[in-house]
Structure 1
């Protein structure tokens, strides 16, 4: 009995160690991929560059990722908790004022694209070339839109999908603008853009709270 008990205790520990090794290797490749993408750009970077930066092997890389597009997608997925937190903040505004919405955009939303520009740039290139990554990206947009659920309470039953689509378009609009503006560097006047975005979001959030037309 003692032998069986001892063996059953050792196996989970060994599995846990292997799982930790896997997570550490996965994270190392993601960190190194971010560095490589930042230095070389997504298109110029290769799997060999990422492997070399991680001091690893191709076999280990492909045990974790399908290809360069997959590693870009996984890299972006690490930002999703932060992205969800952004939309959760505006969802917590029970009755948003235009001023509160503008402050949210200025303090939280725009900062996300500035902080995660490397990840955003990489995933945009990846999804342009890989339909699978594009599908994953659209699911991320839907998940972000669902964070606005307090404003979607009136969109129930057959109207639920319409409400979610409206919220998703709002998220997509902000994402596309910030990508071209804050990541790609298309020049815009910040204060003017904040005013425009605040008007759009304030108006749309009010329409979402009103629910479907009767």
Structure 2
């Protein structure tokens, strides 16, 4: 390694750190702005002002307001993927285990990331690119249920993946209206219904075609 390479490496690492810190700062500030004013009423200028930054820096990180809304949701995706990995790893598939998972992990996720969910739904209604990304997130979440999909091979593989995806999208729509938009539901009743739906479908998928 030359002396020049030795000198550039720490400098590049510092620049990368600066870039990441700025990226996270804009995401954090966007979350606060969206939480306070809503997605539609908020502007890129509001986010830039909250971050004490510049439009040039903002556009070095994000294409537009919809892009930062999608980025905000993407930051929550590891936590979202984890809840489906938990469902894939039940020591024993029982209705009680499914209900407990829904209660603790699924509803907990949607309550914790309510702002992220709100803004990505608003953004994808106006931006086909964000809508396409959102659909792919759903597919990726369905793939986390792979232990239930293993017996579905060949032409049936897509059938199983689609069934899992529909199960997730149905859950997402309910949680969005209930936990994010505040449509009232009886929690215990909804948990009972969701547990029935998920337990039956997971049993069906596990059994194979």
| TM-score, normalised via structure 1 length | 0.96
Could you tell me which of 50, 57, 63 is aligned with 1:60? 57
Aligned to 1:49: 46
Aligned to 2:197: 200
Return the offset for 1:94: 4.7
Supply the distance in 2 between the matched residues of 1:18 and 1:146 (Cα, whole angstroms): 35
> Residues 1-214 of structure 1: matches in 2 within 5 Å?
5-212=2-209
Supply the distance in 1 between the matched residues of 2:90 and 2:183 (Cα, whole angstroms): 31
Supply the distance in 2 between the matched residues of 1:9 and 1:184 (Cα, whole angstroms): 53
Larger radius of gyration: 1
Supply the distance in 1 between the matched residues of 2:56 and 2:105 (Cα, whole angstroms): 40
Supply the distance in 1 between the matched residues of 2:11 and 2:155 (Cα, whole angstroms): 50
Q: Secondary structure at the match of 1:187?
A: coil
| TM-score, normalised via structure 2 length | 0.98
Q: How many residues end up aligned between the 2 structures?
A: 209
Q: Secondary structure at the match of 2:28?
A: helix
Further displaced range: 136-145 or 91-100: 91-100
Q: Where do 5+ consecutive residues of structure 1 fail to align?
A: none
Q: Secondary structure at the match of 2:90?
A: coil
